């Protein structure tokens, strides 16, 4: 009776043999395609990849990894949890889940964190990371200019990287795993279009110390505005940028806007700090439709109360888990990684939040 190890090896070989038979090529050619090596005609490669997909063939990544002598080091660079929002707890859990899964195969995941409100903090942490010379990287960018400079250094040092949560306008990443920011803003506008009154004004709220560098917030705003522009709605759209993120500063900024514009009926907050806005809205003597982002503890409290009407969520834990595993897949078997993976756009309300698994 064959041993389990030998049987698994035979199953793997049989899979490759079947692919080679169907494609009418050699086993060596199939192996070259699986490992994304050069020297294969485009048509032949496409034919083999199509058969691999049809058969749902999965190379034994871990067995191949154990056969290698080198120990891989994967670095992650994400914002640290702030006092105002616990959003980044989710990605951290995803990183830790992936790390626990692949650590038994000799892979070390080293975590780096930066303050999302401090360019200096980002520069210091990114420089510290580069000095460790990791084999691969999962990166959640915040500051546009500095992030572009950082990934260009990664490319120069031949460090493959995957982006999560927010994309960058530069070529070179293995993949982007995260939300389609413009689409989520567009969806938010579509939701409130069913609830808004003819004479209501809409207030867009951006809360960030380094707003000019938070391009993901601006993409959401662009998608939101595009909906009303495309559908030719006449409601006035107002905007406030709040660059002091403490509760008192947020309340002061909102109070001034509501004093100047008494007909604000909808508030759209472009990030997870919607709970700070909810604390203000709750005190008003009238109903205001409030929509924002992310399934975090401080927001759930106001969902329960009905102060926040909608939360847009895009599975940050899963983003980070998939990101680390994509880097690992690339390093372990040189397997092609899907270039763009947009996460589903989930709509959370008072009625369904108890059943949501982020």
Q: Which residue has the tokens 């993976």?
A: 341
Strand ranges in 227-269 using DSSP code E only, listed in sequence order: 237-242, 264-269
83 pLDDT above the threshold of 90: no
With a cut of 70, say whether residue 212 has pLDDT above it: no
Contact 77, 126 (CB under 8 A): yes
* CATH architecture for the domain at 4-59: Orthogonal Bundle (1.10)
Domain 181-313, what fold?
Rossmann fold (3.40.50)
Return the SS3 of 100.
Answer: helix
Question: pLDDT (tens digit, 9 = 90+) per residue, 133-160?
Answer: 999 999 999 888 999 999 999 999 999 9
CA-wise closest residue to 244 among 254, 234, 235, 230: 254
Task: Give CA–CA dist 273/181, Å, rounded.
Answer: 16
Residue 11: what pLDDT? 41
- What letter would DSSP give residue 38? S
- If you average pLDDT over each of 42-56, 99-113, 145-159, 325-339, which comes out highest? 145-159
How far is Cα 324 from Cα 337, in angstroms, rounded to an integer? 12
pLDDT band, very low/low/confident/very high, at 63 (cuts 50, 70, 90):
low
Domain boundaries, given as residue ranges, for the chain: 4-59, 73-178+316-343, 181-313
Contact 242, 207 (CB under 8 A): yes
Please state which of the four CATH numbers 3.40.50.2300, 2.40.160.20, 3.90.79.10, 3.30.465.10 is assigned to the domain occupying 73-178+316-343: 3.40.50.2300
Q: Which residue has better confidence, 105 or 64?
A: 105
* 73-178+316-343 shares its CATH topology with 181-313: yes
Of 27-36, 108-117, 238-247, least confident by mean pLDDT is 27-36
The stretch 247-276 carries a mean pLDDT of: 95
Q: What is the pTM of this model?
A: 0.77
Mean pLDDT of 59-84: 74
Task: Flag whether pLDDT at 172 surpasses 70.
Answer: yes
């Amino acid at each position: 009776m064959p041993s389990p190890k030998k049987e698994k090896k035979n199953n793997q070989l049989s899979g490759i043999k079947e692919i080679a038979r169907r494609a009418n090529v050699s086993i060596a050619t199939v192996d070259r395609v699986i490992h994304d090596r050069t020297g294969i005609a485009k048509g032949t490669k496409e034919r083999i990849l199509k058969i691999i997909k049809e058969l749902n063939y999965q190379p034994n990544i871990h067995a191949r990894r154990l056969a290698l002598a080198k120990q891989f080091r994967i670095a992650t660079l994400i914002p640290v949890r702030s006092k105002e929002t616990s959003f980044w707890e989710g990605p951290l859990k995803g990183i830790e889940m992936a790390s626990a899964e692949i650590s038994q195969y000799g892979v070390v995941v080293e975590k780096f964190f930066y303050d999302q409100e401090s360019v200096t903090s980002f520069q210091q942490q990114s420089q510290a990371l580069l000095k460790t010379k990791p084999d691969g990287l999962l990166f959640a960018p915040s500051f546009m200019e500095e992030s572009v400079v950082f990934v260009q250094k990664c490319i120069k040092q031949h460090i493959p990287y995957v982006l999560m949560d927010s994309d960058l306008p530069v070529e070179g990443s293995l993949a982007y795993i995260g939300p389609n920011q413009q689409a989520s803003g567009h969806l938010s506008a579509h939701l409130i279009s069913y609830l808004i009154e003819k004479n209501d004004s809409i207030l867009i709220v951006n809360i960030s110390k380094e707003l000019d560098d938070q391009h993901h917030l601006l993409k959401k705003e662009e998608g939101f505005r595009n909906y009303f522009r495309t559908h030719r709605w006449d409601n006035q759209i107002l905007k406030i940028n709040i660059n002091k993120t403490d509760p008192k500063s947020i309340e002061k900024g909102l109070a001034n806007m509501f004093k100047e514009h008494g007909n604000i009926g909808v508030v759209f907050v472009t990030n997870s700090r919607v709970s700070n806005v909810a604390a203000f809205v709750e005190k008003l003597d009238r109903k205001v439709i409030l929509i924002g982002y992310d399934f975090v503890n401080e927001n759930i409290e106001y969902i329960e109360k009905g102060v926040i009407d909608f939360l847009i969520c895009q599975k940050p834990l899963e983003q980070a888990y998939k990101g680390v595993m994509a880097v690992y897949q690339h390093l372990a078997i040189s397997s092609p990684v899907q270039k763009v993976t947009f996460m589903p756009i989930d709509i959370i309300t008072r009625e369904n939040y108890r059943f949501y698994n982020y």
